[in-house]
Amino acid sequence: MKSDQIETMKTALVVGANGVIGRNLINYLLTLSDWNVIGVSRRCGDDTGRLRYVPVNLLNEDETREKLGTLTEVTHIFYAAYQDRPTWAELVQPNLSMLVNVVNAVEAVAPNLQHISLMQGYKVYGAHLGPFKTPAKETDAYHMPPEFNVDQQLFLEQRQPGSTWTWSALRPSVVCGFALGNPMNLAMVIAIYASMSKELGLPLRFPGKPGAYHSLLEMTDAGLLARATVWAATDAGCANQAFNITNGDLFRWNELWPKIAAFFELETAPPLPMSLEVVMADKEPLWKSMVEKYGLENNGYKDVSSWRFGDFVFAWDYDFFADSSKARRFGFHDFVDTEKMFMDIFEDFRQRKVIP
C-alpha cells in the first residue's frame, strides 16, 4: 500500500455491529477500499482482513474505557447500539449511558476523530405513541419526554462545539435486512410467520389491527441506509444535521400482503387481530422440526423470533411516513422499491437456509 493511501485510510468504529443496521453497514464499508472497520458488540464476530471485533458491555463505563480507550486510530464512530427495556422511560438511562460511555472513551484517545453518526428513528416524532404528523420532517418539534433518541442527539449537540468532530443523525423507518438474534427485524418476522403458516397448512393472515391493514407506510432497506449513513458521515455539507432516510416509496399492507403470500405460495384469508408474541410462544417444537425436515441452518427459535416487534409494527392503524426530501436536497439520491426489497430479503433467507 502506498504511503498516500495509508494517510487517507479511515477507521470506522461500528457500535452495535451484529444488529441488522450495524451488520449491513459493516458489509458496505468493506466494499470501500479506504476504510478499516472495528465492530463493537457484546457478541463477537470473526476478524477478517480490514475488520476486527471488540466485545464490550457498553453499560459498564470502566470496561468501555478499557476496551475502547486504546483505539487511537478511530476517525468515525457509527453508533447503532440499542438496549431494550419494558417501558419508554426505562429506555433512556441505558441507551444514553452507552453513547456517553463510547464518546468519552474514544474522544479522549483518538486525535483524528472526524465524525459521530447517530442512528435514530421515528420515535423522535412520537410515531410509537400514536397518530403523528405526516409527513414527518426533521424540523418538527420534539414531543413530551421521555425519549432517548432525543436525549442522545442533545448530548451530541451540546458536546460538539469546540470539537474537531461533527455529528449526523439518521432517521430511518422500519429497517429491513439480514440479521439473526435481532429484536427489531420485521422481514424475519414475516418470513418465519409465513413459513410456519405454510407448514401448518394455513393461509397467510395479516395479524395486526384492522386499521393497520389500510394505513400508508414506508420502509428503509438496510443496504440503502448503510450508503446514506456513510454519505452523511463523510460529506462536509451534512455536518451537524439530521436526515430522514427511506426507500422513497409508500405502500399499504392490503396491497403488499397478498404479494408476500404469493412468494410463499400461500393463499390469504381475512385479517385477524392477534398477538404474535402470544400465539407464536409455543411454536419452538414446530420450528425445530422444520429445521430438521428442511435441512435449515440450526438457528435457535429465539434467534429468528422478533414477535414483539412484529406486534408493534402491525398495530400502526395510522399513517407512518416521513419527508425524505432533505437528504435529496443535500445530495443523497438512492432509492429502493419496497416490494422488491421484501422479495429479495426472503430469497436471501432461503439461500442462507434460514427458511425453507
pLDDT at position 2 is 47
Please state the domain extents for the chain: 3-175+221-245, 183-218+250-321+338-347
Structural contact between residues 318 and 131, judged by C-beta atoms closer than 8 angstroms: yes
Instruction: Indicate the pairing of strand 35-41 with strand 51-55.
Output: parallel
State the burial class of residue 292 (Cβ atoms within 10 Å of its Cβ: 0-12, 13-18, 19+): exposed
Amino acid at site 69: G
Q: Give the Cα-Cα-Cα angle 249, 251, 254 (nearest 5 degrees).
A: 165
Give the per-residue pLDDT at 4. 47
pLDDT 10s digits, 8-48? 899 999 999 999 999 999 999 999 999 999 999 988 788 99
Q: Express each pLDDT in 234-263 by its tens digit.
A: 999 999 999 999 999 999 999 999 999 999
What's the pLDDT at 7? 53
Q: Mean pLDDT per 10-residue run, the chain (356 residues)?
A: 62 95 97 98 88 97 98 98 93 98 98 98 96 98 97 98 98 93 87 98 97 98 98 98 98 98 98 98 98 97 94 98 98 98 97 97
- The values of phi and psi at residue 6, to 5°, are -60, -40
Residue whose cell numbers read 442512528: 119
At the second CATH level, the architecture of 3-175+221-245 is 3-Layer(aba) Sandwich (3.40)
Q: What is the pTM of this model?
A: 0.95
Please give the pLDDT value at position 43.
81
